[in-house]
Amino acid sequence: MSIEKCRIIELSKIHDVRGNLTVVENGKLLPYDIKRVYYLYDVPGGVARGGHAHVATEQFLVAMSGSFDVVLDDGFRKKTFSLNRAYYGLYVSTMVWRELNNFSSGAVCLSLVSTLYLEDDYIRDYQDFITRVRA
């Protein structure tokens, strides 16, 4: 099941008196090459983002600032992850429905993505998703 591939990945944290530095290098840690970066910010309280799955896209989500929850669902199981630190993130595999909610004020969600943006890669209808994963 796809949800078992989804996991928290710890990043390095280089700390000194000037603060912290975290690095993500292509070809290390993440199981794919990074082709795209986007981020969510200024998310109003009470709003949910996501609400879709991807056929071929893998991604890694990091709470760069603040916190939010990610609810994953592979059509058989659901799991919720709370992200609230910049030195770890959540790897989300293909064919996993995700919803991001419970954003704190000032939260920033960084997304490191395995593909360029392609609307055809999205499954935006939950019933369609369930039909496909259970087929």
Find all residues with CB under 8 Å of 1, minimum gap 6, and list them: 74, 76, 77
* Separation of alpha carbons 25 and 124, rounded Å: 30
CB of 122 to ligand TYD, least distance (A): 7
Which sequence positions are flagged as catalytic?
Answer: 52
Closer residue to ligand TYD in complex, CB, 49/79: 49
- Give one DSSP letter per residue of 9-28, joined into a string: EE---EEETTEEE----TTS
Structure token digits, residue 62: 């990091």
Query: Which 46-75 residues touch ligand TYD, going by CB under 6 A?
Result: 49-50
The least CB distance from residue 61 to ligand TYD, in Å, is 10
Stretch 31-50 residues interacting with ligand TYD (CB under 6 A) = 36, 38, 40, 49-50
Contact status: 123 vs ligand TYD (CB under 6 A): no
> With binding defined as CB under 6 A, does residue 117 bind ligand TYD?
yes
Structure tokens at 87: 């030195």
What are the CA-CA distances from residue 120 to residues 85, 96, 101, 114, 132 (Å)? 32, 16, 24, 15, 15
Closer of 7 and 36 to ligand TYD (Cβ): 36
Interface positions with ligand TYD (CB under 6 A): 36, 38, 40, 49-50, 117
